A and B are shown apart, each in its own frame.
Chain A
Amino acid sequence: MADIETFRSETRSWLEANAPESLRHARGSSDALEGHWGGRNAEWATPDHKAWAEIMADKQWTAPMWPTEYGGGGLSKQENKVLTEEMGRLGLPAPLTGFGFTMIGPVLLRFGNEEQKKEHLPKICRGEIRWCQGYSEPGAGSDLASLQCKAVREGDEFVINGQKIWTSYADKSDWIFALVRTDPDVKKQEGITFILIDMETPGVSVKPIQLISGKSPFCETFFADVHAPVSNVIHEINAGWTVAKALLGHERTMISQVFGGATGARKGRGRLVEMAAKYLGEEEGGRLADPVYRNEVAQMEMDVAGFRYAAQRMNDEAKAGHQPGAESSMFKVVGTENNMKQHELMVRLAGPQGIGWEGEGFEDDELDLTRAWLRTRGNSIEGGTSEIQLNIIAKHVLGLSG
């Protein structure tokens, strides 16, 4: 205990001394996934954001719990919690985010060989390489294992031909982790290989897809005779499905964490209450004027609070040694639905101010909100649809099957 308090006070003074003034308690973006992703063509909101990423990378705190030899901080769970709390106290943003940290990193730590870890993890920690995920194909969505993108071995290389789709940020990414078909003649799960491909390799091309939110965060990704060394295969050849599933677990956890508790019912008035008061008025003493929306706001806050206690229980039980089962599926469903319901409620609270697309007559926050609401419609699709999560729980937890 004494140790952790020492760690806390040291962390606090270090952050006080090193975190750029301008980033403290700065207003966050409404899209929780929009952070700083680094990469060869990194974009920084301000020079201080760039400096912050470098300061934290030097301190090895961009991936606080990864082993130090790969650029991580080597912190314990408890220390990491303290670091998060202390960053929260100063209202600091995460220095770097992205699929490197949330998806491929954890998978490399578990399945990668020493060379692969040494090669890729430090670059993730320093924000030098940005990663994207090449799973889905036009014909392989929920039924991911039916994927067809083909890799044929030629000596020390695989030659890859085919197409991926819905590749988030492929146009901004440097490397892709992809699932490819290496054996077409076996059970579909058994002929898949997990491979890493540099997006600068000749034959890789991307084409952005425009979404209902007006943004183009994801792309079609094409592979035409793309050569990738066999040494880029993670785990065994034809054993990619195991890796793919492990990664999906991380992805679901990440999605539910990012979205599940966005507007918490903590101290003070939450965003929903602020909005209800602003757009629908309040009585003397602060009671919301509209009783129907008041009930809806309470319901929403309570759903979010309920989710938080459920997440806490899962963590506490994990600490007590219980092996988590299909929880990531459950949290994915509930977390994303909370986020979607919350955005719908905010749009309805804003009324006519909640339906602006661009231009005059709307505040920036209002325009952000409309776009953010549209973005949330993807939450119950990305990372495996809600229906697929329900299937997983039905089969593996409840034992309901054909």
Chain B
Amino acid sequence: MNLALTEEQQLIAETASDFMQEKSPVSRFRELRDSGDVVGYSKALWKEMAELGWAGIPFPEKNGGAEMGMAELITVLEAAGAVQAPEPFLSSVLLAGQLLDRMGSEEQKKAYLEPMIEGNTCLAVALQESGPRYNPAHVAARAERDGDGYRLNGTKAHVIDGHSADALIVSARTSGETAGEEGISLFIVAGDAAGVTRTRQQRVDHRSTAIVELSDVRVDAAARVGEEGAGLAALRDVVDLATVGLCAEMLGGMKEAFESALAHMKEREQFEVKIASFQALQHRAVRLFIEIEMCRSSVMAAARALDEDAANKAQLVSLAKARCSDAYVEVANESIQFFGGVGVTDEYDVGFYLKRARVAELTFGDGNFHRDRWATLRGY
């Protein structure tokens, strides 16, 4: 494992950062929010990002991908996180795209993966239900055999980008009881299929998630992704990938929030001096700086462990997510404090980072969840 950026990675990182700063400053996300936009991201920008190759980073060349890995993808996600870009990387590339890449048939890849890589569509995975927190085995939704196909019934919640996705991959039981490890299957369903009702969930970070209700949704056998009953392991794998992707986004966010607060400290004067001269603030700022550096190392290590399929990869995912979850919230809280009163106004951007920090913390498991998982993985 090499934890320094290669020249190629450096280049991707710089390109992504320049692009995001230029085409997608935070003001763009603010406008999306204020305009009551229903899609949740910009289709035009998603297309541009795809044309730069980013939606295809981890996929095979034959599907239009770049055959690179998480080590490259996280540099793009970090740049996106810095400016609160809401384009559907997590949902489309890391969750749905990776499921299709790992489990999908050639027809499914042609029909769903390739258009997404080209930036023409958005995909989502409906895996979470209300009640359980971060356990993809908790599936009450059912898929009953119906002739040569299936009929799906159930309700999914907190489906990232589920509201506007062109197609959804849904986890549903073909056998077994809720929370059982066996009997979870995956199906791909068009967003506008008969029997699918989608309601946008308004969460604190203003990003797009949805409740997806499935009521006698009829799909044929070709809509099943992977073998019947073999969905859980794949879901867990892609959730780990998405977790590290989210960590990278969080890293970008915390760094940006922190730097904006630093800039403010160097501008704002009280008692005839810059507030940056107050040691009480300096030391707190350095603590945040150190924490961000530690997060970066953990996220880079986790991404490389996934790429190398290392034996301890799950542990490293938990290491990164626990650290980033705690750090992003802390950085955002402290940054607001450094701003003073303006920090809690909607006019300043720092509030976006606090809100996103909280949502990201509570997505795919918070610090306590991942400490518990670390301990379990290490046999205690």
Q: Which residues of A contact B (CB under 8 A)?
A: 265, 269, 273, 276-277, 282, 286-288, 294-295, 297-299, 301-302, 305-307, 309-310, 312-313, 316-317, 319-320, 322, 330, 333-334, 387, 390-391, 393-394, 397-402
Contacts and interface: CB of A to CB of B under 8 A. Distances in A.
Residue with the highest number of chain B CB atoms closer than 10 Å, among A273, A297, A306: A306
Given A306-B294, A310-B297, A313-B296, A398 B371 contact: no
Contacts of B67: none
A295 B276 contact: no
> A interface, by DSSP: helix, strand, loop or mixed?
helix
B283 interface: yes
A295 B286 CA distance: 26
A286 B377 CA distance: 11
Given A306-B323, A334-B294, A398-B286, A320 B4 contact: yes
Interface in B279-332: 279, 281-283, 285-287, 289-290, 293-294, 296-298, 300-301, 318-319, 322-323
Contact of B298 (A306, A330, A334): A306
B379 interface: yes
B375 interface: yes
Contact of B285 (A305, A400, A402): A400
A330 B301 CA distance: 19
Main secondary structure of the interface of B (DSSP, over half): helix
A320 B319 CA distance: 25
A333 B290 contact: yes
Given A288-B375, A302-B371, A309-B298, A316 B277 contact: no
A306 B319 contact: yes
Contacts of B279: 391, 394
A298 B374 contact: yes
Contacts of B298: 306, 309-310
Nearest to A299: B371
Interface string B364-380: 00001001101110111
Contact of A312 (B297, B319, B375): B297
B262 interface: yes
B265 interface: yes
Contacts of B282: 390-391, 394, 398, 400
Nearest to B274: A402
Contacts of B35: none
13 contacts: A287-B376, A295-B372, A305-B319, A306-B297, A306-B323, A309-B298, A310-B293, A390-B282, A391-B283, A393-B290, A394-B279, A397-B289, A399-B266
Interface of B: 1-5, 262, 265-266, 273-274, 276-277, 279, 281-283, 285-287, 289-290, 293-294, 296-298, 300-301, 318-319, 322-323, 368, 371-372, 374-376, 378-380
B371 A330 contact: no
A303 to B, nearest CB: 9
Given A313-B300, A398-B285, A301 B290 contact: no
A56 B98 CA distance: 53
Given A298-B374, A316-B3, A320-B4, A398 B262 contact: yes
Considering residues B277, B281, B297, which has the most beta carbons from chain A within 10 angstroms of its beta carbon? B297
Output the residue of A309, A316, A394, A398 with the most chain B CB within 10 A: A309
A309 B4 CA distance: 11
A310 B371 contact: no
Contact of A298 (B5, B297, B371): B371
A387 B283 contact: yes
B289 A393 contact: yes
A295 B378 CA distance: 12
